[in-house]
Amino acid sequence: MIRTGAERAVVAAVFESEGAAARAIEDILETNGLDAENASLICGARLPLAARGAFLLIISRRRWLC
């Protein structure tokens, strides 16, 4: 839900897995320089609601301005 008059939206999610899937995900994250914390992947984004504009993407504490 986005409040009327808001200039941006903030989205966040936590993905968790266990067993063989967790190990595979940890390997992929570490290979790409991302922190793997107990097979949890924490993602978030700050998105401007304007038609044009950059957004901030956060994955496991690393940030990218897109």
Are the C-beta atoms of 22 and 39 separated by less than 8 Å? yes
Give tens-digit pLDDT for 8-36: 778 888 878 888 888 888 888 888 887 76
Q: Tokens 């609601």 correspond to what residue?
A: 49
How far is 4 from 65, CA to CA, in rounded Å? Answer: 25
Percent of the chain that is helix, strand, coil (3-state, to 5): 20, 40, 40
Please give the average per-residue pLDDT across 1-12, as a whole number: 74
Which of 7, 2, 11, 1 is closest to 46 using CA atoms?
A: 11
Q: Within a domain: residue 23?
A: yes
Q: Within a domain: residue 49?
A: yes
Report the predicted TM-score, pTM, of the whole model to 2 decimal places: 0.50
Q: Which range of residues forms the domain containing residue 59?
A: 8-65
What pLDDT does 50 receive? 64
Q: Within a domain: residue 2?
A: no
